[in-house]
Structure formats: C-alpha cells, structure tokens
Structure 1
Amino acid sequence: MPHVITQSCCSDGSCVYACPVNCIHPSPDEPGFATAEMLYIDPVACVDCGACVSACPVGAILPDSKLDESQQVFVELNAAFYPKREGKLPPTSKLAPVADAPAVHRRAGGPLTVAVVGSGPAAMYAADELLTQQGVRVNVFEKLPTPYGLVRAGVAPDHQTTKRVTALFDRIAGLRGFTFYLNVEVGRHVTLAELAEHHHAVLYAVGAPTDRRLDVDGMGLTGTGTATEMVAWFNGHPEFTDLPVDLSAERVVLVGNGNVALDVARILTTDPDVLARTDVSDHALATLRTSRVQEVVVAARRGPSASAFTLPELIGLTNTHEVVLSADDHALVQQDLTTESNPLTRNKLEVLAKLGDASAPIGRPRIRLAYRMTPLRVLGDDHVEGFEFTVTGTDEVRELATGMVLTSIGYRGKPIRDLPFDDAAAIVPNDGGRVAETPGVYVAGWIKRGPTGFIGTNKSCAAETVHNLVADYNAGLLPDPSERPSALDRLVRARQPAVVDAAGWKAIDAAEIARGGADRPRDKFTAIPDMIAAAATAPTPSLGQRLLSGLRL
C-alpha cells in the first residue's frame, strides 16, 4: 500500500527528510527541486511506514487505498516520475541527507539577534532555521496586523488544505526567542538603520508584492486589473476590499495561464454556495452571488505543451469544473502530443486532450483554455468592451467580447528603501542571500531569487541565507547591537502604539474562527481597525513580562 502525494503538495521537503528509504524526489539537494511542480513518491521503494504523512504540513499525502475517485490519477502520476525497472527494486538508503543546522558560536555580549522583515513563508522558515540554535532571538516585523503573507492573502479560499501550513507557522511563532511586531512597517515606523542598531543582522523576506504589467493599449480602462489583485480581494486583504469588481458581463478574459490564473478562473465559476463554506471574504461572496459570468477565457501566448499551470492544479480543476477547448486548440494539443517526449508534459497534454468542446452550448459557468493568443489591445472607450489578440506568429486577429480583462503574467519585487535593486530581475542583488555591498543585511524568498517555486521552496532558500548569516556572525563580521535589548520594544511602541504582538494575533485568529461558526473555517476581518480592536482583547503583558519573554533563552 504505497503512499501518494496529491495536488495540495507544498514542496517544502519535510516529507523527504522523514522518509527512511529516500523514496521521495526530487529532494532539496537535487537540481530539479526548485522548479518541480510537486514531489513524487516511488511506489516500488515506498515501505508504507507513514512517516511522510505526519511530516507533511498540508495533509497532501495519503495511502493509495484512501484516495477518492478524483485523486486516483495521482497514483499513476507519482509512478510516472520514476523510470521502469523491469521488476528490480530501486536502491534504498538511510534518511535523505539533512543539512546541519547552522551552529551559532555564542558571544559574551548576548545572543545573536536578527530582525526579519516580512512574515510570509520565507520569513517564517528563516526564523525556524535560526531558532534551531540556543541563544538566538528573532524579531519579525510585518506591516499588517495579521501574519503569513501570501498564505493568508494569496492562496485561493477554496484551497484550505494548502492554508494548513499556517499551523506550522504558528508553531514557529511559539518558539522561545521569537517575537512578533505586527502592524509595524519598516521604512515608516522604524528604519533599516534603527533596526541595525538593535540587531546583529536584518533579513528581508518581503516577497514580490506587485504584478508584472501588460503593456498594451487600453490597460487601465475601467474593468482591467490583475489576477493577484482579485485573489487578494477574494481573501479579504485590507488593501483590496474596495477593489472595483464588476461581474455584470458574461465573459471574463484572463491573460496568462499559470496557477494564479486558474485560481481566479475557478473562483469566478464556482457556485457561491460552495464558496460560502470557505474563508472567502463577505464582500467578494456578495458580489459573486450577483455575477452574470458564464465563461472565463484563460489565454496564453504559447502552445499547450508550454502551459504554465501545474498538472496537479489542472487535474484538480477538471475534477470540479467544466473546462473546454476550441477545435483549433484541441488540434494544437494533438500536434504537441506527437512531438512531446517529456513524460510529465505528456501527462498534462493527455488531460487537455480529454477536455470538452467549446462549441457546445454553455450550461453552467465554464472555463475555456485558449492557446497561441498574443495580446494586442483592450477595446472600449471608458470601460472594457473587448480584447484583441493576434494568433501567435501570424497577423491573424481574433476579438473576444468581454467586460473584464485580468492579467496574470507574474509577480514582481519592488525597490526597498536603502537597499540596492536590480530593476531588470526585480530582486535585491545578493550572493546566497548576502545583500551586495550592504554588510549585515540579507534577503530570502522571492525578493532574493524572483517569484519562482511554491510555498515550501522558500524553506531551502531561507536555509541558505541563514547559513550564510550565521557564518558571518561566527566570523566576527556582524558587530554587536549598539542598543540594549529593552530599547527596541520601547522604540516600536513609541512609534506605533497599535503594534500587535503574538497574543494580539492569537486574539484576532480566535475571533475570526469564532465568526466563521460551524460552516466556515473562519470569517476574516477585512478592515485594519477591526483587527486592532480584536487584538486589544488579548491579555496585555506588563513591560517586565515582555522583556522577560524576550530574554529567556
């Protein structure tokens, strides 16, 4: 009874290290790990021990006997990653090699103290790596009153299993030496220079918070926007609650076909009664209930074999939604099948080949995947009325009537005050996380490497940065802070009296879960004042207790 990884895989590698026979690949030390769509369990080598099940933070691994009908395809998908062996057992080994935690050489002056800017996956994995050692303090700064970045605001509401990784992050936040400074914006309430006075090092893990923009005529008309803005709106991000979303037209066009585009297309075509059992924001649910959208067209410049979405996402989508192709696109899929040799890409093409025909009458809201569509311009005077494409590589023009155009062509990092910035790559220039020509400052996550990989990919990325940070500390390259530990708390609270600590976040979390009742995982606060009010219900520790908790290592 081998175990199987399903579509909710986060790729953080925890299962790899738990497996006693090294049968889960690619592992973090293998070249394909950073770009793998998911991890795969070798059905021949698996010894059915279940260690991977308990290690997985998102509940993505199951015995093959417990898969439901929609998950059966993952049995073959996991097996397809491994070559046929004609009955020979694969070699097994001891546990996959785990990189040693960075050993901190303690100094007489006090513990290694690191400021982490941001609270998403890269930030939390970095904090976890640092706190494997005794005598380390980590202060995490987040501009919102709620932590966890894109896991909270960027994962689609109907992907609750993926959001389970926040339980791991809550555990990290409870480690000795960890302190939250939520609702505190670095660059506004405190500066990089001030953080440097209170810490040995400052590690930025702020992600890539903006979108790449599509440069065609008409972008900017009412009815144009980005898929990431829509996901934030679905999720109740306080900066996007007033996003103007008009779903009165029967068609929405999405430019780009990565997983985020599929997320938006899926939500826009899901029965609102189904969404009502998720943590979708109330304002989004109310708008979706009045939606007239019958078709979402997901358009890509290239052909089917170059589809940017992952195979697990496609499989999950086809299990719950009507997904169709035009006759021309079905022909493109068949053409690619005749030439494609990569087995995983062929699996994707075979799923596409089974999709329905777009010429059939629309019976319920559906998703149409469209290929070889190069964006030309948005049509309309004041409001979107249509979108023109050229057929990629030709002069043929195709027009789609639509009332909304959303782009989903990637995330982009933005410059950080007082740090260098590579505008072409949209990252902070760095060497293994060390920021170029800025001693004592480090980066991890998308601002370090660009918007690639999945939630768990940030684990190995953060580990690399932390290892280099600790090496610099041990080599004496990071001078001791000039300020006493107690001074930081006083500084932050003087600049931002509405700072939210770990207890405040727990109060917000508990209130949201209570608001969700029996039918929803939570009902989120979408306004910062409401979050602050909920946080204020937490017991307030005395100054002495705050200092003691920070110093007790």
Structure 2
Amino acid sequence: MRHIAIIGSGPAGYYTAEAAQKKWGEEVRVDIFDRLPVPFGLIRTGVAPDHQSIKGVSRRYEKTASGDNVRFVGNVCVGSDVAIGELQQLYDAVVLATGAPNDRVLGFEGEDLANVFGSAAFVGWYNGHPQFARLDPDLSGRHAVVIGMGNVALDVARILSKTQGEFAGSDIVLHALDALEESNLETITILGRRGPHQIMMTPKELGELMQLERASPHVDPEVLPPLEDDALLEPGLRKSVTLLRDFAAIPQSIHGEKSIAIDFAFFASPVRLLGDDGKVTAVEVERTEVKAGRAVGTGEFTRLPADLVVTCIGYRTSPIEGVPYDERAGKFANDEGRILPGLYCVGWARRGPSGTIGTNRPDGFAIVDLIDDDIGSGNRKRGREGFDELARDRGLDIVTFRDWQEIEKAEIAAARDGSPREKFVDVESMIAARGG
C-alpha cells in the first residue's frame, strides 16, 4: 500500500490524486490537505465568477474525491497545524500542490498606498476568499488603472465594468456586487510595458469586452504595428491582435454611448505610484519601445490619473519552513518536480504561474510516475491512520469532503435569484454550515 499526502486541493492537487488512482487503483491512499474548509483552490476563488463553464471542471474533481482511497482533509494548515517533516514521516510521498497564491510586488515607490491591490487580493475579494473578503476597495473615484497584459488584467477590467444585470448566472459574492453597483468609475486603463504583439491575452477573453453593456474597449490606432507583421504571429496571438485592431476601429459615436472606457495603454512602463493623504492618485509611466522583445525606456514620462490600482503582474508560491525555495522564480526549488527524498511539487508550485487549468493534468500524471519510480510499492508508513492519530492528539477540527457537500448545499440554498450559490466568505461560517 502506498500512502500519498497532497498539500493543496486545487486543480494540480486533484489531477495528481486522479493520476494516483489510475496508476495504483486500490493500492493507494491519498489525503488531500487544504487550509480552508472548502476544496478546489483557484477554481473557487481565482476563476472569474462570470466564467461558470470553466468552474465546471470541479465536477471532474468530485468524481476523484468520491473514491474511498482519496480523502479531503480541510481546515488543516500545513506548516502550523502539522509540519512538512511530520507528514514525510507518515506518508511515502508528500506532494506540494499549493499553487502560487501571493502577488508579485511592483518593487517601486507608492505600492503601499491605499487602494492599491495585487490581483490575488482583488480577485479574492470579489470571489469571496476568506483572506480577502474584508478588502473593501474604494470604487468612488473615476479612474482605475490595471497593470498587466494578461487574462487576469482582462478579468479585473471586465468585472469592474459590468452592470449588476450582467452578473446574472455568476457566483460573484454579494459584498462585491453591492460595491460594484455603487462604483463611479469612468475609465479603466490597462497598462502594458510592451506592445500589441507581446500581449498574453487570449481571443475569448478579449472578445468579451465587445459585449459589455456600459463599457467599450479603445486602442489607439497609432500604436498598432503594420498589418502585414501579424502574419508572423502564432494563430492564437494573431486572433487577439485582430481583436485589438477591431477595438481601434470602433467609431467614436459608439464610445460616446458607453459610460465606461476601457483604454489599452501600450508601451507604458509604470515607474512609481503617486498619492495624496496616503491614497493613490496617479501612476507615473515611462514611454517604452520594444527591442529584441524587451521593453526599453525612452526617458519620456507621463502621469495617468488613478483612484484605484490593481496589479496583475504574476504570482509567487508561499514558502514553507523546511522546504527549499527559489526566491528569484517564486516557486519551490525542484528538479522536474523532485524537491527532496519523498517530497515533490506539482502545478504552479513546481513550474511557476504558467499554463492553463488543463496544463496541470499532465503535470500531475508525470509527478505520479516519478513517485512510482522512487517508492515502488510503498515503505510501510502509517499514512492516513497515523495522521488521524496526530490530529486527535492536537485537537484538529478536520473538514471532510462530505462536510464540504453540506457547506455547498447551504451556499446553494442561500443563492440570490439567478446565482448558482452565495459563498460563505469566512471560515467560521463554512464550518458552522457543515452541520452535525
């Protein structure tokens, strides 16, 4: 019998558990740990609430979780409730699938001003993550700046732009819905250091900006490269750039009919944030040009008004005591997933924040193959039995997958009209909802 502990119940964790089931069948026991009482990680608190079709992948994880050989162990914080070293003593393999939940920092003046948020925090706020539910961003100003040229920046801009009616069918939490309803935003600037040919935005997400009721996207035609240069792009990026050209061709009369402008500011590198009385008021940017794929400053500076700033510049994995960490890359130090004997990492914790949700599936299967090479049939460790004994001794209040199903039932029952659920946004309410 093989005993596997997986730390993190997001896509990487559940794909790894699925791979273990397929590799070893009844000859494996997998415990999936999470510090929250609810599973699915970024599917629940990272994917945009108006992208319910993407969130539907959790049904696949439910199938994995329903087997007797896979168990959800929620409300257990690895590092404080139990140490990594203790888990290594109990399990044949410990797999870190903790993702990259922390924002990368800008590293320049002003990022500590009020109403400046990283995307992990801001997205967590409108998705109801307990860590960020009390963020309380001030949306009373007229100008927002979103720093970044990836899909997360598009998510933030789109959520800030939508009317209450456009959130029908989503699971955006009520406190965010109410705050957005009172928003006074008139411009949302998406800021990027490089040009249209270097964006990381996908066509589907860009295309959604054309469907917004009260907002329209705007691109200055002068920043677009010659049309013939698009032929050198890979097909997905070419489609995205074509959409930017479509944005540039929108007549001014259409823009005038919308109350919110979503402006794409290319070749603009933020260098500092300015504030008044401790709150952000502007972003100072340096005009850039792209040389050999890199943004190079030109020495020309301008200021953009900003009453709200959200940075979407990447994420970092949380360090864990006793686990080697690559500070530069913001992930666990590893060799193709191996960290130390018996200790592995998978997903963003292994490779950094790259790829799609589906990218984690082959990653999980590859890690299980490595574990199989390393541990064979197992090493007679106690696994689940040993952890349960430790949990009893420490008085840990474990939340099981069956408990989670009761929590989910309560969220569904509390849903407002047109919403699939109303999420609990604090741990205490989640635990209380599981019932007896």
Please show how residues 245-264 of structure 1 align to structure 2 within 5 Å.
245-264=137-156
On the 8 A contact 1:325/1:358 being kept in 2, the answer is no
Q: What is the CA–CA distance in structure 1 between the aligned matches of 2:384 and 2:118, rounded to whole Å? A: 43
Among candidates 317, 326, 342, match of residue 233 of structure 2: 342
Alignment of 1:468-507 (within 5 A): 468-474=370-376, 479-481=379-381, 483=382, 485-507=384-406
Equivalent position of 1:456 in the other structure = 358
Aligned to 1:198: 90
Give, in whole Å, the separation in 1 of the partners of 2:353 and 2:392: 33
Match status 1:125 vs 2:15: yes
Deviation at 1:319, TM superposition (A): 3.2
Contact 2:347 2:363 in 1 (8 A): yes
User: Would you say how many aligned residue pairs link Structure 1 and Structure 2?
Assistant: 420
Q: CA deviation at 1:347?
A: 2.2
Residues 1:416 and 1:463: Cα distance change in structure 2 (over 3 Å):
same
Identity %: 36
1:262 to 1:484, Cα distance in 2 relative to 1, 3 A: closer
Does 2:330 align with 1:426? Answer: yes
Listed one character per residue, the Cα deviations across residues 166-213 of structure 1 (whole Å, up to 9, x for unaligned) are 111111110120111100011111111221222111111001111111
Contact 2:8 2:97 in 1 (8 A): yes
1:216-227 map, 5 Å? 216-227=108-119
Alignment match, 1:139: 31
Matches within 5 A, 1:291-370: 291-320=183-212, 322-326=215-219, 329-335=220-226, 337-338=228-229, 340-344=231-235, 345-355=237-247, 356=250, 360-361=255-256, 363-370=258-265
Higher relative contact order (Cα pairs below 8 Å, separated by 6+ residues): 2
Cα distance in 2 between the residues matched to 1:454 and 1:385? 34
User: How far apart are the structure 1 equivalents of 2:115 and 2:212?
Assistant: 27
Corresponding residue for residue 314 of structure 2: 410
Task: Please report the TM-score for the alignment, with normalisation by the length of structure 1.
Answer: 0.73
Of residues 165-174 and 359-368 in structure 1, the stretch that sits farther from structure 2 once superposed is 359-368
Computed over aligned residues only, the root mean square deviation of the Cα atoms, in angstroms, reads 1.9
Matched, 1:167 2:93: no
**Separation (CA, whole Å) in 1 of partners of 2:196 and 2:251:** 16
Contact 2:230 2:238 survives alignment (8 Å) = no
Matched, 1:397 2:301: yes
> In 1, are the aligned partners of 2:19 and 2:368 still within 8 Å (CA)?
yes
Secondary structure of 1:380 counterpart: strand
- On the 8 A contact 1:216/1:375 being kept in 2, the answer is no
Would you say the 8 A contact 2:12–2:346 is kept in 1? Answer: yes
Structure 1 range deviating more: 496-505 or 441-450: 496-505
* In 1: Cα distance, 2:252 partner to 2:417 partner: 39
Q: Which has the larger radius of gyration?
A: 1
CA deviations on 1:255-310 (whole Å, 9 max, x unpaired) are 11111110010000000232254211111111111110122110100000111211
Secondary structure of 1:458's partner?
Answer: helix
Q: CA deviation at 1:536?
A: 2.8
1:441 correspondence with 2:343:
yes
Deviant stretches of 4+, over 4 Å? 357-360
Separation in 2 of the partners of 1:232 and 1:282? 13
In the alignment, residue 363 of structure 1 is paired with which amino acid?
K
| Partner secondary structure for residue 31 of structure 2 | strand
Quickly say closer, same or farther: Cα 1:505–1:163, change in 2 above 3 A.
same
- After superposition, residues 239-250 of structure 1 pair within 5 angstroms as 239-250=131-142
Displacement after TM superposition at 1:434 (Å):
1.2
Q: Which amino acid aligns with 1:131?
A: Q
Equivalent-residue separation in structure 2 for 1:241 and 1:352 (angstroms): 34
Higher deviation after alignment, 164-173 or 412-421: 412-421
Q: What residue identity is the alignment partner of 1:335?
A: P
Q: Does 2:273 align with 1:378?
A: yes
Mapped pair 1:535 → 2:434: yes
Q: Distance in 1 between matches of 2:257 and 2:418?
A: 31
1:116-142 Cα deviation digits (max 9, x unpaired): 011000000000000112211000110
For 2:311 and 2:84, how far apart are their aligned partners in 1? Answer: 34
For the residue of structure 1 that corresponds to 2:197, the secondary structure is helix
Question: TM-score by structure 2 length?
Answer: 0.92
Greater strand content: 2
* Alignment match, 1:114: 4
Pick which of 116-125 and 386-395 moved more.
386-395
Give the SS at the match of 1:378: strand
Tell me if structure 2 keeps the 8 A contact 1:276–1:285: no
1:411-453 CA-partner distances (Å, limit 9, x unpaired): 1123221111111112212222111xx2111110111011100
Q: In structure 2, list runs of 5 or more residues that go unmatched.
A: 289-296
- 1:176 corresponds, among 68, 87, 97, to 68
Instruction: Name the amino acid aligned to 1:141.
Output: F
Alpha-carbon distance, 1:332 to partner? 2.0
Letter of the 2:69 partner, please give it.
Answer: G
The one-letter code matched in structure 2 to 1:124 is Y
Q: Give the letter for the 2:12 counterpart.
A: A
Kept in 1: contact 2:210–2:217 (CA 8 A)? no
